[in-house]
Amino acid sequence: MEEFKNMDFATRQIHVGKEPDQYGALVPPIYMTSTFEAVTSQYFYSRISNPSLTLVEKKIASLEHGEAALATASGIGAISSALWTALNAGDEIIASETIYGCTFSLLKENMPRFGVKVLFVDMADIENISRNLTPRTKVVYFETPCNPTLKVLDIAAIAKVVHDYNPDIKVFVDNTFCSPYIQTPLTLGADVVVHSATKYINGHGDLLAGFVVGSSEFIEKCRVIGVKDMTGSVMSPMNAFLVARGLKTLDVRMEKHCSNAEKLVEFLRQHPAVEKVYYPGLEDFPGHEIAKKQMSRFGGMLAIDLKGSREQIGEALQKFEVCTLAVSLGDAETLVEHPATMTHSTYSAEDLKAAGISEGMVRISVGLEGIDDLIEDFRRVLDTLV
């Protein structure tokens, strides 16, 4: 890994982690094995580690500028394994009120069952964090841009306020919406990055996967406590192989996701059925200046508020021909979904309101298709609402 340290992102996404192969194979084999010969192997059992996973862990650690990474079975596997490792009964978490729906239910409904107190705040106002930090705070948790409203949070400013109060509090950033090609929270002061690698990192919509990235010390604890003993949320060697394959093109995929998103935003902004467009690249979008500072591009995710009743919007969403009405994101295919009833159905009406998720909001994961075909698909569907 050291040998690629100073090389370009594109070189690292392809080469980091590869070991010499006994047959000179260009692509490493998939180590489909549960156990290892005890006397000779550096490995022991695949719930702890496996060579196919080591390869992708090294790649993600390098791309995120972390000391180490841990591969998990899913994004929620990464988040829960890392949180169970970092927390004890009696501890407190301050979390962003706008986060992915199942992270929200993990924090809101389930963490408290084990004696962890969770407070949800609007982190765009950093005072909401500083005045709620207590000696029991162990984790500050957020996504940026947030799922699904694309709200942008200032990673460096939040990390500074938290660490000025107590350097031992772990600042967690879910970097799923950006991927390390667009944003690297650890370089801005965050302590732990979590990923749903189901999304851009794998990029092909054919598996679930996750990563935790951070200091070697914390990642080792996550491996032997969070994953080995608590969640058992290991990535399969087959999925590690597919993630390594997907990663080879992360940069070129992200460039096209971003370019397609920018062009689709331009079209949507002038369509009469669209009330509002949420995209960090828009100059008048709150958080645009922060996005410019911490993201290399503005990403492939956006949301719109549509005019019309819930029924009309529901009907319209079934008329796409190129796009697919589905949850998930970061795939080659453009995916369209309705957060209030799909990804964020775990939110109550009150929670939705606090997070700024409207009834008419539609989230779009802009894919890699031809942009003219995407625009035409949206034009046809949105015209039915005016």
Q: Which residues form the catalytic set?
A: 47, 100, 174, 199
Judged by beta carbon, residue 154 or residue 174, the one nearer ligand 7XF is 174
Chain residues that interact with ligand 7XF, rule: CB under 6 A = 74-76, 100, 103, 143, 147, 174, 176, 196, 198, 208, 210, 327-329, 343
What would the two tokens of residue 184 be?
């690297």
The answer to whether the peptide bond before residue 145 is cis (omega within 30 degrees of 0) is: yes
Q: How far is the CB of 165 from ligand 7XF (least distance, A)?
A: 26
Strand order in the sheet with 335-337: 274-278, 301-306, 361-365, 335-337, 324-325
Q: How far is the CB of 212 from ligand 7XF (least distance, A)?
A: 12
Cα torsion 245, 248, 253, 258 to 10°: value is 130
The answer to whether the peptide bond before residue 180 is cis (omega within 30 degrees of 0) is: no
Beta strand pairing call for 324-325 and 335-337:
parallel
Which positions ≥6 away from 167 have C-beta within 8 Å? none
Determine the 3-state secondary structure of 268 from DSSP.
helix
What would the two tokens of residue 180 be?
């390390």
β partners of residue 96: 121
Determine the 3-state secondary structure of 108 from DSSP.
helix
Q: How far is the CB of 20 from ligand 7XF (least distance, A)?
A: 32
Q: How far is the CB of 114 from ligand 7XF (least distance, A)?
A: 20
Please compute, for residue 107, the number of CA atoms within 13 A of its CA located in the half-sphere on the CB side. Answer: 25
Distance CA 181, CA 12 (A): 11
Judged by beta carbon, residue 157 or residue 327, the one nearer ligand 7XF is 327
Q: Nearest Cα to 259, choosing from 367, 167, 358? A: 367
Taking the alpha carbons at both ends of the chain, their separation in whole angstroms is 55
Judged by beta carbon, residue 14 or residue 208, the one nearer ligand 7XF is 208
What would the two tokens of residue 122 be?
């609007």
Judged by beta carbon, residue 14 or residue 361, the one nearer ligand 7XF is 361
Q: How far is the CB of 143 from ligand 7XF (least distance, A)?
A: 5
Q: How far is the CB of 72 from ligand 7XF (least distance, A)?
A: 9
Question: Are 358 and 335 within 8 A, CB to CB?
Answer: no
**DSSP per residue, 371-382:** HHHHHHHHHHHH
Judged by beta carbon, residue 14 or residue 364, the one nearer ligand 7XF is 364
Q: How far is the CB of 196 from ligand 7XF (least distance, A)?
A: 3
Helix (H) or strand (E) holding 313: helix 310-316
